[in-house]
């Protein structure tokens, strides 16, 4: 007898196979990273951006080659911190459909194996098995689509923030010079 909190996982495995647990684990990791990025952007990044703008505005030199190079280095470091988990997010998004396909293939092998053992061409058993085999593909694709939407949106935010950071640094110099 399973503990009460494990029953949903047992039903999930019954419905779609063991690979579905792998998809759930990847989805949990993917959405945890996504939540971490949202919190990083809302709290840590904005604080670091304000500190960078204050540090740049406090400098006496804003127009020399070395000052502009320093500004570029500072902005690249800050944007790189925002961009850091993108490769992992993309990897997890790409992994989801592959896990779904693995679940489908293993499920279809189980269906054909059970049909070979029963030696009866039961259409109902075949339909149930195919439905069970395609559930991991559906789950993998659904997680991948949501992850892809988030990753694309994060890339847009990073491009926008890169431009805004440069604009704010230039505006801070203009306000400081005035």
The separation between CA 140 and the C-alpha centre of its own chain, rounded to angstroms, equals 13
- Asked whether the predicted pLDDT for residue 113 surpasses 90, the reply is no
Q: Would you say 59 and 120 are in contact if contact means Cβ atoms under 8 Å apart? A: no
Domain assignment present for residue 8? The answer is: no
Q: Is residue 28 in a domain?
A: no
Q: Of residues 134 and 45, which shows the higher confidence score?
A: 45
Residue 25 lies in a domain: no
Residue 79 lies in a domain: no
Q: Say how many domains are in the chain.
A: 1
Percent of the chain with pLDDT strictly greater than 70: 94
N-term to C-term CA, the chain:
75
Is 70 inside a domain boundary?
A: no
54-87 pLDDT per residue, tens: 999 998 888 899 999 999 999 999 999 999 999 9
Q: Structure pTM? A: 0.82
Q: Residue 2: pLDDT band by 50, 70, 90 thresholds?
A: confident
User: Which residue segment(s) compose the domain that 151 sits in?
Assistant: 87-178
Mean per-residue pLDDT, 8-32: 86
Considering the domain boundaries, does residue 102 fall inside one? yes
pLDDT-derived band at 120 (thresholds 50, 70, 90) equals: low
Q: Which residues of 133-153 are buried (b: 16+ CB within 10 A; e: fewer)?
A: bbbbbebbeebbebbeebbee
Which residue shows structure tokens 């690249």?
76
With respect to residue 130, please indicate whether it lies within any of the assigned structural domains.
yes
Average pLDDT on 128-154 reads 90
> If pLDDT is split at 50, 70 and 90, which confidence band does 175 have?
confident
38 found inside a domain: no
């Amino acid at each position: 007898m399973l503990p009460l909190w494990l029953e949903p996982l047992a039903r999930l495995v019954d419905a779609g196979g063991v690979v579905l647990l792998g998809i759930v684990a990847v989805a949990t990791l993917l959405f945890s990273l996504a939540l971490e990025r949202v919190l990083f952007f809302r709290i840590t990044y904005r604080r670091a951006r304000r500190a960078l703008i204050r540090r740049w505005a406090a400098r006496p030199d804003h127009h020399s080659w070395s000052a502009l190079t320093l500004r570029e280095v500072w902005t690249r470091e800050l944007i790189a911190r925002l961009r850091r988990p993108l490769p992992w997010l993309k990897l997890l998004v790409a992994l989801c459909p592959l896990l779904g396909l693995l679940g489908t293939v293993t499920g279809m092998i189980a269906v054909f194996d059970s049909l070979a053992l029963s030696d009866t061409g039961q259409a109902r058993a075949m339909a149930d098995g195919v439905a069970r085999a395609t559930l991991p593909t559906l789950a993998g694709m659904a997680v991948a689509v949501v992850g892809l939407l988030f990753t694309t949106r994060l890339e847009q935010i990073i491009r926008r923030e890169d431009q805004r950071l440069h604009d704010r640094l230039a505006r801070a110099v203009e306000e400081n010079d005035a």
